[in-house]
């Protein structure tokens, strides 16, 4: 069975969907949830799901090889960023080449980069009067949201679209597609 490490900073809804998806089809499992935010809702979700949790700080992420060593010890096949807000350091990128993926709540390359996450993305899309939005699943590199695109799905915005309604529609796309794209990457 393939081993996943899911990195989170927030509520953990995508992490929970991924866990439930693989609990049903048994091709992979989340070996560890890595969290950088002691207030994250994902912590309680991981505990409720019985998934091991690893709390990290900036020193562990950026100034040591401890995180890389622990992930290698767990024989992680793929690192999945699901609402993780820190830039991935070079030592992690080198240890897991083309094995770190992220989901972004917009159609990259637009509305990506440092500071573009969650509600901020949806507000920017609405403010720009875009006619489409969607999700992008991409490989992670040394820049925010700049890795090679793996998958995109889009939809037309409603004339009365709000940031809140757009967020709900984006979440539905994320829940539907992210686990399947992860599974397809594990099959390669």
Q: Which residues are catalytically annotated? A: 104
- How many whole angstroms separate alpha carbon 144 and alpha carbon 161? 27
- How many whole angstroms separate alpha carbon 133 and alpha carbon 151? 14
Dihedral sign, Cα of residue 26, residue 32, residue 34, residue 38: positive
Across 1-148, the runs of DSSP E, i.e. the strands, are 2-8, 28-35, 53-55, 78-81, 100-104, 132-139
Across 38-88, the runs of DSSP E, i.e. the strands, are 53-55, 78-81
């Amino acid at each position: 069975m393939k081993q996943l490490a899911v990195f989170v900073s927030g509520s953990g809804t995508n992490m929970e969907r991924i866990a439930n998806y693989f609990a049903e089809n048994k091709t992979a499992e989340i070996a560890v949830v890595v969290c950088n935010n002691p207030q994250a809702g994902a912590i309680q979700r991981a505990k409720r799901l019985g998934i091991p949790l690893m709390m990290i700080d900036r020193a562990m992420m950026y100034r040591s090889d401890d995180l890389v060593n622990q992930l290698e010890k767990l024989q992680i096949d793929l690192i999945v960023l699901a609402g993780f807000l820190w830039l991935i350091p070079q030592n992690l990128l080198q240890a897991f080449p083309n094995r770190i993926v992220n989901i972004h709540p917009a159609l990259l390359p637009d509305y990506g980069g440092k500071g573009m996450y969650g509600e901020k993305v949806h507000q920017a899309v609405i403010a720009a009067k875009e006619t489409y939005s969607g999700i992008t699943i991409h490989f992670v590199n040394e820049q925010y949201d700049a890795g090679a695109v793996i998958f995109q799905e889009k939809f037309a915005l409603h004339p009365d679209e709000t940031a809140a309604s757009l967020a709900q529609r984006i979440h539905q796309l994320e829940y539907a597609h992210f686990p399947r794209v992860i599974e397809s990457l594990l099959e390669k």
